[in-house]
Chain A
Amino acid sequence: MKVRPSLLVETGARTMVPTLLVVSAFLLVVGHDSPGGGFVGGLLAGGALLVVFLSGGRAAVTSMLPVPAGAILGAGIMTAVATAIGGLVFGRALLDAGKLEIDAGWFGSWSVGSALLFDVGVFLVVVGLVSTVLLQLGDPEEREE
């Protein structure tokens, strides 16, 4: 299946991708209270990458990622592990959730828990995995030895 991005696909992608990314970020943040969360958010962001890949190929995905996929994975794991041992550092249990209250004026009062940070780690790992898959398995012919 040779990917031949048409103009239509490209235009579609150009409008779709930002939307998908915003929705994915939204799902990540609201996950604690309504359907969503790190997995769903990460997978949706992965879906956005898929769209990018289909329209622009590997190069487009690479240019869109700020860092290599391996670093995203590492950062995700580190974030999650850091929140996990955060509890230990503060003399509590492993993975004990902490909380930070933010009063943001007319935006309302938000409480950012370590659970959200943890979910960000999850999000990053999922994104890292999907981008690895796309970069490695997508369009394999390009890399014939």
Chain B
Amino acid sequence: MTGVLIFIVLALVAAAAAVAVTRTRVTLGLVASAPLAAMAIWTAFAAESDVLEGTPLTGSIGWLPTLGVSFDIHVDALSLVFLGLISTIGAAIAVYSAVYLTDLAKARRFLALLALFAAAMTGLVAVDNIYGLFVFWELTTITSYLLIGFEDRKGSARAAALQAVLTTGIGGLALLGGLVLLSQETATTSISQLVANPPTGTVGTVAIALILIGAFTKSAQVPFHSWLPGAMSAPTPASAYLHSATMVKAGIFLLFRLSPGFSTDPIWTPVVVTVGLITMVIGAWRALRQTDLKLLLAYSTVSQLGFITALTGTGSPAMLHAGLAVLVAHALFKSALFLTTGSIDAIAGTRDIRVLSGLGRRRPTLAAVGVLAAASMAGVPPLLGFVTKEAAFSALIDTGQWAALAVVAIASVATVAYSLRYLWGAFATKPPSPEADPKGFDAPVAPMGLVLPPLVLGVAGAVTGLFPGLVNRFVSAFQPGKLPLIPGWKPALAVSAVVVAAGVLVHWHRDRVGRTQDRVGSLTRRLPSGDRAYRGAVALLNRVADRTTGLVQSGSLPVYLSTILVATVSVPAVAWFSSGSSVDLHPLSVSVGEIALAALVITAAVAVTRAPSRMVAVLLLGAVGYAIAGIFVIYAAPDLALTLLLVETITVAIFAFVLTKVPRRFEQERSRFFGRFRAVLALGVGGFVTAASIIASRQRSGPSDSEIYAELAPTAGGSNVVNVILTDFRALDTLGEITVLAVAAIGITVLVRGLRSEPGEGT
């Protein structure tokens, strides 16, 4: 069974590649939607197995067992719910997109990304391994980045994609940190085992906090929500998929997964419930003010996500049951609404409430779809939105969460109001306004492909509302609970009635409400908001990057060298002398000749630094070399002395050749301060070398390796030991060395003669 699922995921990946070469729109839609349709069928079959009785489908593909990373497949009721949504809504959207995107090249690219995204999402909900989950989590981040920035010629789309990827990316890293902590604390990487034996103590709490950051960023919870409205710059089918059924639901999925076990942690319930409720209210409040239908839906999504998040907070079965039911309803009506909005955009050329007028009469089918979906969102019976919201109210009432109930009810009033606002804004015939643009009225009839998919999704919301058992079969297998169409005369029904009535009232007085909102808005403008925080953080990051880089990357060679020398000498010096090595200056066997030559070397070296002209400096350098050759003689190194004499002679000659081209006198160095610093640094480096050499050579406890050389040299056929070392014992060094010389010769030729020449070539 899971083998088939793996095959379907691979088929999605293959489809992503296949659509790139597909030539017609029809095959495009088919290729992209076929694997998703297959997955929907698979889900239906899986539901007939023991999954809903509590026996998950399992399987495994290993990847990095050393690190605990594998793709352990674990499909249970929760997975099935998500798989069902991913596949059915995905298939509908794939068909829709093939029609919606009129440019064939764009449609190809879009459907390829959509297929990859669906594959990632499928993996995300089907694995049991925390790292496996993380892999798919990040894949959804990447693919959603590409989808959000799909209209990449627009700067706003690029900026929105960046905001989304940064926000969810930071969340992803927090999640990774949390997961690693968790696996090290509990010695398991299996999610089901983690839920069975949740972590305890401070480390557990820290891990959970990090995981929650990951879930909240992904699910657009306050204060990380602001990327979601921005993500509306994606093509509408992408919004429909990402923000109804999939990407944002990934975080929610994680909450559902972990809540049964992790809600025992002291921070889980307060944090999740609070964040969820705040998000619900803020989203609803913002949704009421929007004039762009799509943005209205975006804030509505934020609000609904907050609602569902809050329901996962306590970990009680009833709440989780209701939460998952709400999630299903939301996926259906929100995708229908997004697709409807896309069709409106395609027909009328605008999504602006202030411009649209009279569309309902001209496009009754589309309007009907809109009404069906928006009514479900508002919680009007007998739609799935109503049934599930009733379940949520009941759960809140039964567990005595009165404060939460009050907040949810208030936000629900706003939900009803903005649902009406959506319908009124999209379809009502309004008095002519200055912004109104009549051109939209003559738009061509929308092809069936633009109406059918949302219609199917909208009808699905109605059918499942009438027969909630279809949904509850899955949901109650996750957590036990009932989902009746007719709840009976319970308090929850009264709450629903009040909420709907109040919502209608709010819409009725929309102008007054709007003015109040503007007043509050002007008061809260100064308050920190997620969006401003994001902008501020990016600006700060860029400023810090410029400052730091400007500081360290001065571009000046003397500064670089000073830093390098200070660091390279001071680090070992501190390590050396802090551990108390004593300098031992005992028996010194020094010859007079050595002292005299040393004095000569030092005098010449100091004189070089003071040389007024280049030629003098070079000659003094030669003098240093000759004097050192003398030291070599004292140190019984005739080969060295000979070599150095010849090298110095030729070097001075080369210098002389080059200097004929360069001004004779040295130009004045600029900074005096730097001159003094230079002297101090030079003395420091030199002092380190002297001290280190003396101390290191006092450390020798045994003879060197060379003792053997004297004995072996004759057997190697030579009596000049140094030469035997160079040509025999250590001939590899010499081989390397002549390679250096040959390469240097190549370099000289290139530098002097330019490229088109062989080394040494010349006439």
Contact = CB atoms under 8 A, between A and B. Distances in A.
Nearest to A33: B719
20 contacts: A31-B723, A33-B723, A35-B639, A36-B642, A47-B649, A47-B650, A70-B759, A71-B760, A73-B760, A76-B738, A97-B727, A115-B717, A116-B727, A118-B735, A119-B727, A126-B741, A128-B741, A129-B745, A138-B657, A140-B660
B416 to A, nearest CB: 83
A62 B748 CA distance: 17
Given A133-B654, A141-B661, 11 more contacts: A31-B727, A33-B718, A34-B720, A62-B763, A80-B734, A97-B717, A115-B716, A121-B738, A129-B741, A130-B650, A140-B657
Nearest to B717: A113
B30 to A, nearest CB: 63
Contacts of A71: 760
A37 B723 contact: yes
A128 B745 contact: yes
A37 B639 contact: yes
Interface in B687-734: 716-720, 722-724, 726-728, 731-732, 734
B727 A132 contact: no
Contacts of B646: 40, 43-44, 46-47
Contacts of A138: 657
B521 interface: no
Interface of B: 638-639, 642-643, 646-647, 649-650, 653-654, 656-661, 716-720, 722-724, 726-728, 731-732, 734-735, 738-739, 741-742, 744-746, 748-749, 751-753, 758-763
A116 B654 CA distance: 29
Interface of A: 1-2, 31-40, 43-44, 46-47, 50, 58-59, 62, 68-74, 76-77, 80-81, 84, 94-95, 97, 99, 111, 113, 115-116, 118-119, 121-122, 125-126, 128-133, 135-141, 143
B717 A99 contact: yes
Contacts of B716: 97, 115
Q: Which 9 A-B pairs have the closest CB atoms?
A: A69-B760, A32-B718, A43-B646, A70-B759, A35-B638, A125-B738, A132-B745, A136-B752, A115-B727
Nearest to B649: A47
Contact of B720 (A35, A58, A73, A140): A35
A73 B718 contact: no
A115 B742 contact: no
What secondary structure prevails in chain A residues at the interface with B? helix
A17 B754 CA distance: 31
Contacts of B748: 132-133, 136-137
A145 to B, nearest CB: 9
B742 A136 contact: no
B744 A129 contact: yes
Given A122-B738, A136-B752, A137-B654, A32 B760 contact: no
A81 B735 contact: yes
Contact of B726 (A37, A99, A133): A37
B424 to A, nearest CB: 79
B642 A35 contact: yes
Contacts of B738: 76-77, 80, 121-122, 125-126
Contacts of A126: 738, 741
A137 B762 CA distance: 11
